[in-house]
Amino acid sequence: MPRYAWEQRAARRAILWAGLTLLLLQVAWFPLHPAWHPDTEFAARWQLLQQRRTEQPDSDLYLAIGSSRMALGFHPESLSLPPSGPLVFNFSRLGAGPTMQRLTLQRLLDQGVRPRGVLLEVMPALLCCDPQRPWRSAATFAELPWVCQSESPFEAVVGWARSRVWPWYRFRRHCLDCYAPMWSLPLADHELLLDRLGGWAGLLDELPRDQRILAEATTRQVYQRVLAQFAIRPQRDLAIRTTIRLARQHGVEVTLIRMPEGELFRSMLPPAARSTLDAYFAELARSESVRCLDALDWLSDTDFFDGHHVLRSGASKLTQRLAQQWLLLPSPANPLPIAESPTSPTPEMIHRPNHSW
């Protein structure tokens, strides 16, 4: 056999075996790590909630479940509630819309958590679109039927499958944390800056003008076209109603909230769509017998850095207002400010979840 032909065959065999080995490694991930859960953000907040419930086992639990607006805007720790008082925790998730919120509540109920009250955010833009679709990577196989109820079944299955391709690469940081901590990567997307009660510990005090212009431009790019053609998708409406009814079945009182928005964001919604939304919230509150807080104009434009995500000043105002309107707590004479974001996060703030819950 000529040497070049033998070399070609050897090269093909090497490539074939390398591909098979890589494929087997990906498939072997799941039996090797059966307890690891893909939703790292849920795992981090779940660990914090377990710790707080251990410290206050007899306190009534109140949970806030929403998107990044709620995650950045509500800081229960700044309320300084006494240990004998209610336990208030922010269990929001970045990018979470109706589908992801439903999954979050279902998981908590399955774990035996029975909050007395839940503050559930309804973000208008996510009633017609879901730019981030966090459920694609966060949902387990067993949760896919729930996802298919509020999303296109084909899109749900394909999106879920694509997120599971090459898990060793996707979870590379977690593998290093577990097996080779000396090579662990720096603070990254799977690590959350959270305080003791789930509030975001990385709030901005202000944003330079050039960065603010860029942030506002990004907001327009993501939402302007969607809001101009606003229409409530029946599947998203069903997800919200399913979440409310699920909570009611377990004796949990639900309060809906429409989070504050700046003029930039509100101006992208046509007047007809605004009327549609107002009627929708009124009908939803009436038909599902829930209280609805309309916080749309609670804050000023200077409290946002991109038209809908708050700065520290906005988070402080919003938290105090929610304490009065949702928790029905008296207004404090001297409310505590939200702690400043450290230039170097402390180990207690950086959460690298163990992915089992």
Q: What number is the average pLDDT over the span 41-69?
A: 94
Confidence band for 83, pLDDT divided at 50, 70 and 90: confident
Of residues 1 and 178, which shows the higher confidence score? 178
All structural domains of the chain with their residue ranges: 1-32, 38-131+193-351
CATH fold, domain 38-131+193-351, is Rossmann fold (3.40.50)
| Spatial contact of 80 and 316, defined as CB atoms under 8 Å apart | no
- Which tokens in the block code for residue 154? 């084909």
The structure tokens listed for 92 are: 């929001």
Instruction: Please give the structure tokens belonging to residue 330.
Output: 């008296």
Q: Measured in whole angstroms, how far is the alpha carbon of residue 180 from the centre of its chain?
A: 29
Q: Answer whether residue 36 shows pLDDT above 90.
A: no
How many other C-beta atoms can be found within 10 angstroms of the C-beta atom of residue 249? Answer: 9
pTM of the model: 0.82
Q: What length is written for the chain? A: 357
In percent, the amount of the chain with pLDDT more than 70 equals: 78
Q: What is the mean pLDDT of the chain?
A: 84
**Predicted pLDDT of residue 341:** 53
Q: Encoding tokens for residue 53?
A: 């419930």
What percentage of the chain reaches a pLDDT higher than 90?
Answer: 56
Task: For residue 26, give both structure tokens.
Answer: 């990906």
Q: Which residues pair with 350 in a beta bridge?
A: 193
Q: How confident is the model at residue 15 (pLDDT cuts 50, 70, 90)?
A: confident
The count of C-alpha atoms lying within 13 angstroms of the C-alpha of 162, restricted to the half-sphere facing its C-beta, is: 10
Pick from 297, 225, 226: nearest CA to 261: 297
| 275-309 residue pLDDT tens | 999 999 999 999 999 999 999 999 999 999 999 99
Q: Would you tell me how many other CB atoms lie within 10 Å of the CB of residue 353?
A: 23
Q: Among the listed ranges 125-134, 203-212, 281-290, which one has the minimum average pLDDT value?
A: 125-134
Angstrom distance (rounded) from CA 226 to CA 129? 7
Q: Alpha helices, DSSP H only, in 90-170? A: 98-110, 135-138, 144-150, 153-163, 167-170
Q: 263-275 as b/e, with b when 16 or more CB fall inside 10 Å? A: ebbbebbeeebee
Per-residue pLDDT reduced to its tens digit, 311-340? 999 999 999 999 999 998 776 655 656 656
CA distances from 23 to 37, 171, 178, 179, 296 (A): 21, 16, 22, 21, 50
Strand order in the sheet with 253-258: 87-90, 61-65, 117-121, 253-258, 291-294
Which of 353, 346, 347, 335 lies closest to 78 in space, CA to CA? 335
**Six token digits for residue 20:** 């098979």
The tokens describing 70, both together, are: 């709620």
